Structure 1
Amino acid sequence: MRKMIHSKVVFSPEDLIVVAGISLQMAYKIIKELNHELEEINKKEKKNYIIFRAKIWRKFFRERYYDEKFLTINDLEKKFKIKEWEAKEIRSTIKKELVAKGFKFIKGRIPEKAVLEKIYDYSEEERKNENVSKIVKF
């Protein structure tokens, strides 16, 4: 049974444990890194993002890690009924593409949204365009 996320706006370390399936130590490390990035943004761009001591904005987390739901190699194997080498190849390909776009990664995890987009070759933009074209046709 999946635990409840405490807030819809911010992630606590406990929330990251549930979402990403990582250790408490790794959750604190990620929060610290992201809060440091927010501090840099505040300084460079003269923004006023509020920075919490042990929490991170959920939206900012998604912007840096591409999604908030992650899969391991074992999850990929079970979910898509594929071999381990295929799962590793999918993970490697997706990781290269997302790193090139500036996203961060959690060791041993891959964003589920990216996997679904890659496997089904169907992105959110295509879905939006499809909906627009349907509206225009009718």
Structure 2
Amino acid sequence: MSVRYLPAVVAAALLGSIAVAAPAAAEVEHSAADAGLTSGRLGPTVTALLGLMAIVIGTRALTRVGRSGTGNSRNQAVLALVSGLVSLALGSWFAVTADGGPGTGNGIVGAWAAMVFGLIALVLGALTLNRSRQAGRIG
């Protein structure tokens, strides 16, 4: 295997996207384009992970909004909103610029996942901000 494929293989192994033994040297380049983490899949995958992280942050902020430290919940809600917006925008960009459908290596599935995750994070962040404002008026 060539050294130039090493970062892509390490990243794919960390993400759990490949779990196969290395085939013969002649077949490595062919299988890396079909099943591995291609350059078209890397951006949407990272964007989808950003959206997933925003969902986790938004969920944690929403569950903690009624407690005494509402300032931290507001900060987390804003972080979920911004991360969700970035995930939604970049996912939309990757979906528009993808050349093929699912399975072509262009990242269309990751782009759609990023858009869905970003939208969920936006809703969670908005709910948290709304509840923190209501808790501020009452308390």
Q: TM-score range by the shorter chain?
A: 0.3 to 0.5
Per the normalisation by structure 2, the TM-score is: 0.34
If each structure's helix is expressed as a fraction of its own residues, which one has the higher value?
2
Q: Which has the larger radius of gyration?
A: 2
Report the TM-score when normalising by structure 1.
0.34
User: Is the strand fraction higher in 1 or 2?
Assistant: 1
